[in-house]
Amino acid sequence: MSIIDYLQIPVFQRAFIAALLAGGALSLLGTVIVVQNLTTIRFALMHVALLGGAVGLILGSSPLTGATVAIVLGSCLLGPVSQRLRLEPGLIGAFFMTGSMAIAFLLFYRAGVPAMDVFGLFAGSILTLTSLDLWVMGVLGFVVVAVFAVLFREIQLVFYDREQAEWLGMPAKKIENVLLFLAGMSIGVAMKIVGALLIDAIILLPALTAIRLARTFLQLLIYTSVVGMMTTLGGLLLSMVIDLPTGATIATVGACLLGCSWLFRR
């Protein structure tokens, strides 16, 4: 079958739209993680999702529902807790990661939860997305782009010097909390597309590639979006042509683009 034939099938149509939205919009949150050095956040939310999946099974729900709720709650708490304890979000992420994993394994043992059902969260698939998933992704993508467009100068200054932003009267902490929340939500959505183990393909790799090429903050955002779409759409279409796992192919394309960026001067 050709790519045109594949795109006549509703499953692949939804996958194409999801790849476009995730690569073009959700990848922008990778700039928050890269610039603010919050790489532990994604691991923390992955483990929070594991705990949520275990709770979901105990309550008779699906692991994915529990994981999604847990990611939403974790994303809401990361910023406020870090400010309350006066610690960097990255350090709070380590606390979330360790605590969530410990409680999850206690639940596995005491409640007899089938651990392998929960660990299935780590293997997502863009081909299993529903219409509701696309709507959620579309709304989240719109919010992400709108936040960066409306608060462009404020975000740029917060990235550069948070103390100076506060001195100028900007709500720097609130902006950081909003960005952390959106980053967490994007990680949750990306987990459905490529699985928890390959989240970096959508969230981190495009931003890492763009930061090698961009000279201004606006260029960083534009390049991240473009590279994100090249990663997700390129990986999806390539997996159709040569019959490979979609998530792994998307990650491979992202890694290749990052490698190519090292051939260019920053």
- How far apart are the C-alpha atoms of 177 and 155, rounded to whole Å? 12
Structure confidence at residue 115 (pLDDT): 61
- Domains in the chain, please, with CATH? 3-260 (1.10.3470.10)
Contact of 46 with 100, CB cutoff 8 Å: no
Structure confidence at residue 223 (pLDDT): 93
Taking CA atoms, 14 is separated from 125, 141, 246, in Å, by 12, 15, 14
* DSSP line for 23-36: HHTGGGHHHHHHHT
Structure confidence at residue 2 (pLDDT): 65
Residue 125 corresponds to which tokens in the numbers above? 């698939």
Structure confidence at residue 121 (pLDDT): 59
The type of residue at 62 is: S
Residues of the chain with pLDDT under 70: 1-2, 6-7, 61-64, 79, 83, 85, 87-91, 93, 111-124, 194-197, 264-266
Coil, helix or strand at residue 188: helix
Structure confidence at residue 97 (pLDDT): 74
CB atoms within 10 A of CB 163: 9
CB atoms within 10 A of CB 35: 17
Sign of CA dihedral 161, 183, 42, 138: negative
Residue listed under structure tokens 């999946």: 53
Classify 264 in phi/psi space as left (phi over 0), alpha (psi -120 to 50) or beta: beta
Contact of 187 with 180, CB cutoff 8 Å: no
Structure confidence at residue 221 (pLDDT): 92
Structure confidence at residue 48 (pLDDT): 80
Residue 206 corresponds to which tokens in the numbers above? 């495009």
In whole angstroms, what separates CA 51 from the centre of its chain? 18
Structure confidence at residue 265 (pLDDT): 58
In whole angstroms, what separates CA 139 from the centre of its chain? 15
Residue 90 corresponds to which tokens in the numbers above? 């990255």
CB atoms within 10 A of CB 210: 27
Task: Please list the alpha-helical segments (H only) found in the chain.
Answer: 3-6, 10-24, 29-35, 39-58, 63-85, 89-110, 115-119, 131-150, 152-160, 162-167, 172-194, 200-203, 205-213, 217-242, 246-261
